[in-house]
């Protein structure tokens, strides 16, 4: 479990409460006797938002909720003492740009536009529940349940109006597809999730001289499936090896990772930040 929590994450509850007050939505505030539900870092989650019946206000509440993706830091980096750690949306933005770089061949046909959109949506639920990582000990089914409830709130309470029908269906389709990890696009986006994590880890090793990030590579690099992401990873691991050697340290690498056959990681304990 992370030992440090950013101020932005501490403010999640007050942000949602302020949205409820500002929209006149008193039903968004749970009663004092309501059970406490914990999210990332063991923090109590704010009470679920309830529709005001005013589509414009509910839509605005969703747009405000998206701010949490910009200000919440990725939990794993906080745990490792990274300064100025990336936000959830930082992570998703680079993933989306990486998706645009992928070749589309007849041997591996992909809907690149869908990959880009999926990269921008895959962590959407974290705007509410936060970035829950494997080391926190939260069972996979509990994490998924919390995120599913968050998506239900976003789509049914905030975007439930007729004017948001297309957006609602688009978000639901993309998020469900990513979670199921059954299509080539969803498995590719999971690859991007892994390689982006590894890229960021190397960048923190280089810029902040952090030496405790080996688990992030061990839980991501060997599970890459697409030949392009594996090629990127090979180049990245060589860059990392040279970085460690240049600093006079024994390299803690993954020398044989390319010989590992990627396993189905839909419900695995991939290291996540």
Q: Is residue 213 part of a domain?
A: yes
As for how many domains the chain has, the answer is 1
Its pTM stands at 0.82
Distance, CA of 156 to CA of 254 (rounded, Å): 45
Q: Domain for residue 273, yes or no?
A: no
Task: Confirm whether 122 is domain-assigned.
Answer: yes
Rounded Cα gap, residues 241 and 205, in angstroms:
11
Question: Is the predicted pLDDT of residue 192 greater than 90, yes or no?
Answer: yes
Distances 267 to 16, 137, 141 between C-alpha atoms, Å: 30, 14, 9
Those residues with Cβ within 8 angstroms of residue 193's Cβ, 6 or more apart along the chain or in another chain: 95, 122, 272
Q: Is the pLDDT of residue 14 over 80?
A: no
Nearest to 9 by CA among 83, 95, 94, 67: 67
Residues 260 and 222 sit within 8 Å (Cβ to Cβ): yes
Distance in angstroms (rounded) separating the CA atoms of residues 217 and 55: 44
Q: Is residue 1 part of a domain?
A: no
Asked whether residue 265 is assigned to any structural domain, the reply reads no
Is 270 domain-assigned? no
Structure confidence by residue, pLDDT tens digits, 122-151: 999 999 999 988 788 888 898 999 999 999
Q: Residue 20 falls within a domain, yes or no?
A: yes
Whether pLDDT at 51 is above 90: yes
Cβ(127)–Cβ(65) below 8 Å: yes
Expressed as residue numbers, the domain containing 74 is 7-259
Return the closest-CA partner of residue 144 out of 116, 180, 108, 174.
180
The domain that holds 246 is classified in CATH as 1.10.3210.10
Residue 271 domain-assigned (yes or no): no
């Amino acid at each position: 479990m992370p030992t440090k929590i950013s101020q932005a994450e501490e403010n999640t509850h007050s942000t949602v409460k302020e949205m409820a007050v500002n929209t006149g939505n008193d039903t968004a505030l749970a009663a004092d006797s309501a059970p406490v539900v914990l999210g990332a870092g063991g923090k109590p989650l704010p009470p679920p938002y309830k529709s005001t019946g005013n589509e414009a206000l509910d839509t605005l509440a969703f747009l405000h909720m998206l701010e949490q993706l910009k200000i919440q830091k990725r939990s794993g980096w906080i745990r490792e003492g990274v300064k100025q750690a990336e936000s959830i949306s930082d992570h998703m933005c680079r993933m989306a740009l990486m998706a645009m770089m992928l070749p589309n061949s007849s041997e591996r046909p992909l809907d690149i536009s869908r990959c880009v959109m999926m990269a921008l949506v895959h962590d959407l639920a974290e705007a509410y529940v936060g970035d829950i990582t494997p080391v926190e000990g939260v069972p996979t089914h509990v994490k998924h349940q919390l995120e599913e409830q968050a998506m239900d709130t976003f789509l049914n309470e905030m975007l439930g109006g007729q004017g948001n029908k297309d957006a609602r269906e688009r978000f639901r389709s993309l998020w469900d597809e990513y979670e199921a990890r059954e299509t080539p696009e969803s498995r590719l986006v999971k690859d991007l999730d892994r390689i982006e994590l590894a890229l960021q880890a190397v960048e923190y090793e280089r810029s902040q001289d952090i030496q405790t990030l080996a688990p992030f590579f061990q839980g991501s690099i060997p599970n890459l499936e697409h030949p392009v992401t594996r090629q990127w990873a090979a180049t990245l691991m060589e860059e990392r090896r040279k970085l460690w050697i240049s600093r006079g340290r024994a390299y803690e690498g993954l020398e044989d990772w390319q010989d590992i056959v990627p396993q189905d990681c839909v419900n695995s304990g991939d290291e996540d930040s």
